[in-house]
């Protein structure tokens, strides 16, 4: 048996549906026949072919079940299905920012959606912040100044976990805008609220933007060398939130603290 043999087995839609059905639950011949509305002889033929390739097996109770090889192959197929559903997005963007371990988990993201309108995408990002209650994790190569007052109000109402990863280049050029200086009468107090030196870190380079909160998650990848805010993946369901949190944590563990770089800026703001 080789890979071409395995892929060939799934060139038949009925056999593919039968295989996927067994991936979720062990079933007998007659159950599959009723569920898939496929004639009995054809069901038997599909089952035999899949058994011959060791993708499924027949148990002592006459129920068919997926083998370990079948489980692995199903995981791969799951990833392919998600990628095919969003092929334009994945084909035109740099996916190297996504660790390989998380690429293999894409198959779990059954309900993820794509959006291709820049202004709406920025609004989606803002809404995830506005609707958050328990936590906000963000990775960005830009300072989201318009969202800082919203975050401050949230922190005044209740405690929530806020963590952010920013591009190192921002630290070299960023100064707090005059309007925000007026909003934050005591900037140091705001920084204390978010525990700045513990909850904000930097990466040498950021090639994507991510925001994940308890209200949903959104991801922008790079295109032609810069982050493309005209297209994104977004979802409000638990699997994508957990996946996005894992992506954030992966980069958080590779990040560095900002205290040595921001002390000078804090002194300037409060002088």
5-40 residue pLDDT tens: 778 888 889 999 999 999 889 999 999 999 999 999
- Residue 108 above 60 pLDDT? yes
Structure confidence at residue 185 as a pLDDT band (50, 70, 90): very low
In sequence order, the β-bridge partners of residue 164 are 138, 200
221 and 116 Cβ atoms separated by less than 8 Å: no
Three-point CA angle 210, 215, 219, nearest 5°: 20
Fold match between domain 3-75 and domain 98-269: no
Superfamily classification of domain 98-269: Endonuclease Chain A (3.30.870.10)
Whole-angstrom distance, CA of residue 184 vs CA of residue 176: 10
- State the pairing for strand pair 200-203/161-167: parallel
Q: What is the CA radius of gyration of the chain?
A: 24
- Residue 65 above 70 pLDDT? yes
Give the pLDDT score at 174.
47
Domain 3-75 has CATH 1.10.10.10: yes
97-101, 199-203, 229-233: least confident range: 199-203
Whole-angstrom distance, CA of residue 174 vs CA of residue 32: 62
- Of 56, 48, 244, the C-alpha closest to 165 is 244
- Residue 178 above 70 pLDDT? no
Whole-angstrom distance, CA of residue 164 vs CA of residue 136: 8
Give the pLDDT score at 188.
55
Structure confidence at residue 92 as a pLDDT band (50, 70, 90): very high
Neighbours of 66 (CB within 10 A): 22
* Domain ranges for the chain: 3-75, 98-269
219 and 98 Cβ atoms separated by less than 8 Å: no
Give the pLDDT score at 202.
85
Whole-angstrom distance, CA of residue 45 vs CA of residue 218: 44
pLDDT (mean) for 110-114: 90
Average pLDDT, the chain: 84
Structure confidence at residue 107 as a pLDDT band (50, 70, 90): confident
Give the pLDDT score at 148.
65
Whole-angstrom distance, CA of residue 243 vs CA of residue 67: 26
Greater model confidence, 168 or 166: 166
Give the pLDDT score at 177.
47
């Amino acid at each position: 048996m080789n890979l071409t043999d395995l892929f060939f087995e799934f060139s038949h839609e009925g056999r593919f549906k039968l295989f996927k059905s067994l991936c979720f639950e062990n079933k007998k011949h007659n159950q599959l026949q009723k569920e898939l509305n496929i004639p009995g002889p054809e069901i038997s033929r599909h089952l035999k072919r899949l058994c011959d390739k060791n993708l499924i097996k027949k148990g002592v109770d006459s129920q068919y079940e997926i083998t370990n090889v079948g489980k692995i192959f199903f995981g791969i197929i799951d990833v392919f299905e998600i990628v095919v559903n969003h092929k334009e997005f994945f084909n035109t963007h740099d996916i190297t920012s996504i660790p390989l371990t998380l690429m293999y988990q894409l198959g779990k993201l059954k309900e993820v959606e794509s959006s291709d309108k820049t202004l709406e995408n920025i609004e989606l990002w803002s809404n995830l912040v506005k609707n958050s209650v328990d936590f906000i994790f963000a990775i960005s190569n830009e300072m989201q100044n318009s969202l800082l007052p919203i975050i401050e109000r949230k922190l005044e109402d209740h405690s929530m976990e806020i963590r952010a990863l920013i591009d190192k280049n921002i630290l070299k050029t960023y100064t707090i805008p005059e309007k925000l200086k007026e909003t934050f009468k005591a900037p140091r107090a705001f920084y204390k609220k978010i525990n700045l030196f513990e909850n904000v870190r930097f990466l040498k380079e950021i090639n994507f933007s991510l925001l994940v909160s308890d209200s949903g998650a959104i991801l922008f990848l790079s295109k032609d060398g810069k982050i493309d805010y005209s297209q994104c993946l977004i979802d409000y369901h638990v699997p994508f939130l957990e996946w996005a949190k894992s992506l954030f944590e992966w980069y958080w563990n590779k990040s560095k603290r900002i205290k040595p770089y921001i002390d000078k800026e804090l002194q300037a703001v409060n002088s």
